[in-house]
Amino acid sequence: MTGNRIILIGLCLIGIASAIDLNIASDGKNVLLRPQTGNDRIETRWRLKANKGCKLVLGCMFRAPSCNKATIKVDTGGKLSHHCPEMGMSFFNTSIKDSMSVTIENVGTDLGAYCHVKATTAYIDLPEPVIDSSEHGVPIKPQASSGCRCGWSNKNSKRIVNGKEAGVNEFPFMALIIEKKTRFPFCGGSIITTRHVLTAAHCSHPYPENSLSVIVGEHDIRTWTETKATKIIHVEKIKNHPDYDNVTATHDIAILYLEEDVPLSDQVGRICMPTPQKPMNSWIKVMGWGLLKDEDLGGKASPVLHKVNLKVIDLDICKTIYGIDSSKNRQICTYNNQKDSCQGDSGGPLVTVDKSTRLFYQVAVVSFGLKCASTDPGVNTNVLHYMDWIKNTIKATKDVELCY
């Protein structure tokens, strides 16, 4: 800090300190931002910078009881926000990229507000490869290692461009969850057996068991003519994970029991399940009928199935931003530049290709994120972590099997 300026506004003295330039190490450790205090109104400003490709995470707390005693202004690198105690005693914010500024105005000698800031490791502006070769033109005949048919795609040899419309019945394992009475679509899922669909618990948690249906073989929800594979099947029973927490979104996984068998065909089939022997690829794919952009920007749900590639990033990045427990490997952290599972659906599958079989297997279930297609990563439920629970949940159903 190089000095202070005093400005007289009406009858109020405001002391404005020179901006403090602060480089934040990319180690996930909190750095305290404590403003100056004094007899008058004093403004302390920080210009915060992280390493290229990193993101700053800010948490602030008010100790003053009113907005007359303390205020905070945050510029996240493109968006300015104002905060004071009467709007909430604490708040959380993240930078758009690797810089942000924070200004705390404090009145009097008592500390009215303070903040902590930390930085993630680098993950923004990742170079994205063009995905082709092994996952293109996957033939229908190959079997998974368990001997049952799963995880194929119906597509040609054209290259994938992320965020584009999927082909009709390109992903036979995809399911759409709807309200039975209104037929309102709201979440995605994946066919794991002929009688079970895997989804997120936050999708099914609010609903009674007889209120949901799933649609298989769907592509364009506006019409029934683009494919003959479309079928509505009612949900008989809902099994949410017993430890699901709708506040922290931990154990965000559920299984829907269907009233009748899924009619398997070339257009409708099961997804292969993960095993410890299958490596996690660095890029995975999500698909769904979700928003094409954030609701705040006027985003609307897509009428046709879309797909996008996402990068698997260090789980500690999501720990730094969201405070999740990264030690248990219950979740998977994903990101792509201005693309994410907003373009998929909550509860929908994140899949990757087993290079030995050229078949898709599911690695995660879409759980949550802060904003669609922002620089905030997405958090997804790690399916491998819950395989024992999945097996135990479906074992009471006769004549069904998981494919691997």
- Active-site residues: which are they? 202, 252, 346
The span from the CA of 379 to the CA of 200, in Å, is 12
The span from the CA of 12 to the CA of 6, in Å, is 10
Residue 154: what are its φ and ψ, rounded to 5°?
Answer: -105, 95
The span from the CA of 330 to the CA of 251, in Å, is 7
Residue 325: what are its φ and ψ, rounded to 5°?
Answer: -85, 110
Angle in degrees, CA 230, 235, 238, rounded to 5 = 140
Given 3-state DSSP classes, what are the helix, strand and coil percentages for the chain, each rounded to the nearest 5?
10, 40, 50
Could you tell me where the beta strands, DSSP code E, fall in 241-337?
Answer: 254-258, 283-288, 306-313, 331-335
Q: Calculate the alpha carbon distances from 47 to 54, 101, 142, 197, 226 in Å.
A: 15, 5, 57, 49, 54
Helix (H, G, I), strand (E, B), or coil: what is residue 125? coil
| Residue carrying the six token digits 């099947």 | 233
Residue type, 233: I
The span from the CA of 346 to the CA of 252, in Å, is 10
Q: Calculate the alpha carbon distances from 179 to 80, 130, 186 in Å.
A: 39, 37, 8
